[in-house]
Amino acid sequence: MTAGTALQPVILCGGKGTRLWPLSRTLYPKQFIEVSRDRYLFSDVLARCGMITGSQGPMVVCNDEHRFLVAEQLRNSDVAGQVLLEPSGRNTAPAAAVAAMLCEDEDPVMLVMPADHSIPDFAMFAKMVAVGAERAREGGVVCFGVVPDNPETGYGYIRRGSELAPDVYQVDAFVEKPALDTAREYFESGEFYWNSGIFLFRASRYLDELGRHAPQILEACRAAVDGCYRDLDFIRLSAEDFARCPADSIDCAVMERIKGIEVVPMNIEWRDLGSWKSLHDMHPRDESGNSALGDVVLEQSRNCYVRSSGRLVVTLGLEDTTVVETPDAVFVAPHDRLDGMKTVVDRLKAARRPETEAHKTVYRPWGSFESITVDDRFQVKRIVVKPGEVLSLQKHFHRAEHWVVVKGTARIVNGDEEFVLCEDESTYIPLGNVHRLENPGRIPLELIEVQTGSYLGEDDIVRLEDKYKR
């Protein structure tokens, strides 16, 4: 491709997926969870990028807390991309702006898309992108409208106008989420599409329109990019400047304010997986209309979505109900009450319930740990360290630790000593001792950690050296 015609995918990965609690948590949001057997939304969007002819490695805009999850999935998918960290959430318009300013190619066509969509037909999606990319290279602003298969009230709509080219129409209007009667009218007319939130435009065109319609966003984003710096494999924006940026969506800041926007219809399976209802809709159902995932037994139950993360879940006589089990929480609600999920999560957060922040298994760049049991003055954890990885050199002021290796080999620093432990061997870390754990082997290291002390919180860590610069 000649300069200026490259296609740059930009993946917006800042959502937290509140409505999919208890599976989705603040530190492990919906784009990284298993939405169905062996399907992860972020992995899917990376695979879709790989199907698009002539596209560059993706630029991922994500929350600082999720940077290592993004980096690991990029590595696992063998995808070379840039990871841009938002110091704070400011919605999609600023995210797209800083991505446009940091594109490596001169004025590429940007394909901006959320990370939490389900689009199983990667090849057909790539064909639709190719149609829209040609229009965008000529200076157009293109959105993608999904041909509806029902009168959905949970999505915004796009009303199409005159045909401009094969599979390309003028946008007459963007319409907010409608009431059911209005949604039926839209569906029956054949002139309306669901607004997918996927856009194509040149970087320069977007920044020009942003400066015209939302200059405060543009100014703050430029300052944040001017102050950006590299941190390992990540690009960090100036937190102070980005905090001054107004929060707004691409739709409200730009798309609804300019003329001449074009829409490419997508007559393919598409779901914005933002609720348990949307997951129920995408999963196969049995003869009674039930969807089940995990260790589930359904008896005399109809039209239920039931999901187990580990324990056996049995239903008897349920109808139109969602049941979701995780190791530390169980959620049960009638389908018609799922709109109240945000209120539930807000109440849990106000009570400072840890179940809103993280799962019992917490992922770190070096591996993971799982809290097995917690009581007054002690906690037991299962720690898994990936081959070749190392935890920070650290100490604690309020707890001592006892480590027992159950699988693999551990290289340990404990005070002034450095030694290797194998399976069934252990060591004691006294309170205040400087220590470090490393896996020098080729298989995952697994150990049991018993903590004792007056305070066992994760913030009782003083890092002296850290490979990951935390």
Q: What is the CATH number of the domain that holds 61?
A: 3.90.550.10
Expressed in percent and rounded to 5, the helix, strand and coil fractions of the chain are 25, 35, 35
Q: What is the pLDDT of residue 13?
A: 93
**Claim to verify: residue 239 and residue 286 sit in the same structural domain:** no
Q: Is residue 304 part of a domain?
A: yes
Half-sphere exposure of 332 (CA within 13 A, CB side): 6
How confident is the model at residue 39, as a pLDDT? 83
Same domain, 320 and 378: no
Shared domain check, 298 and 179 = no
Does any domain span residue 449?
yes
Lowest mean pLDDT: which of 19-28, 29-38, 292-301, 412-421?
29-38
In a domain, 355, yes or no: no
Q: State whether 379 and 344 are in the same domain.
A: no
Question: Torsion over CA of 197, 203, 204 and 209, rounded to 10 degrees?
Answer: 20
Kindly indicate the confidence band of residue 2, based on its pLDDT and cuts at 50, 70 and 90. very low
Please state the length of the chain. 470
The whole-number pLDDT of residue 349 equals 95
Q: What is the pTM of this model?
A: 0.89
* pLDDT above 90: residue 245: yes
Assigned token pair, 63: 């929350």
Q: How many domains does the chain have?
A: 3
Q: What is the mean pLDDT of the chain?
A: 94
Please determine, for residue 1, whether its predicted confidence score (pLDDT) is greater than 50: no
| Residue pLDDT, tens place only, 418-453 | 999 999 999 999 999 999 999 999 999 999 999 999
DSSP assignment of 434-460 equals: -EEEE--SSS-EEEEEEEEES---TT-
Based on the fold, state whether residues 373 and 288 are members of the same structural domain.
Answer: no
pLDDT at position 3 over 50: no
Task: Report yes or no on 36 lying in a domain.
Answer: yes
Residue that finishes a domain, picked among 348, 377, 408: 348
Based on the fold, state whether residues 140 and 214 are members of the same structural domain: yes
Whole-number pLDDT of residue 5: 74
User: How confident is the model at residue 4, as a pLDDT?
Assistant: 46
Tokens of 427: 């060591």
Please identify, among 272, 291, 320, the residue that sits at the C-terminal boundary of a domain: 272
| Mean pLDDT of the region 24-29 | 92
Bridging pattern class, strands 229-231 and 234-236: antiparallel
According to the model, what pLDDT value does residue 61 have? Answer: 97
445 shares a domain with 323: no
85: closest CA among 207, 356, 94, 217? 94
1 falls within a domain:
no
Percent of the chain at pLDDT exceeding 70: 99
pLDDT band at 340 (very low <50, low <70, confident <90, very high): very high
Residues 166 and 105 in one domain: yes
* Together in a domain, 91 and 29: yes
Mean pLDDT, to the nearest integer, of 111-138?
95
To which H or E segment does residue 175 belong?
strand 168-175
Q: Is the same domain home to 73 and 190?
A: yes
Where in the sequence is the domain holding 16, given as residue range(s)? 7-272
pLDDT tens by residue, 143-190 = 999 999 999 998 999 999 999 999 999 999 999 999 999 999 999 999
Cα 303 to Cα 114: distance, rounded to the nearest angstrom: 29
Specify the CATH number for the domain of residue 377. Answer: 2.60.120.10
Indicate whether 79 and 180 sit together in one domain: yes
* Least confident range of 14-18, 178-182, 340-344: 14-18
**Same-domain status, 191 and 115:** yes
Say if 403 falls within a structural domain: yes
Give residues with Cβ within 8 angstroms of 416, minimum separation 6.
Answer: none
Please give the share of the chain, as a percent, with pLDDT higher than 90.
Answer: 84
Higher-pLDDT residue of 398 and 38 is 398
Q: Which of these three, 227, 251, 272, is where a domain ends?
A: 272
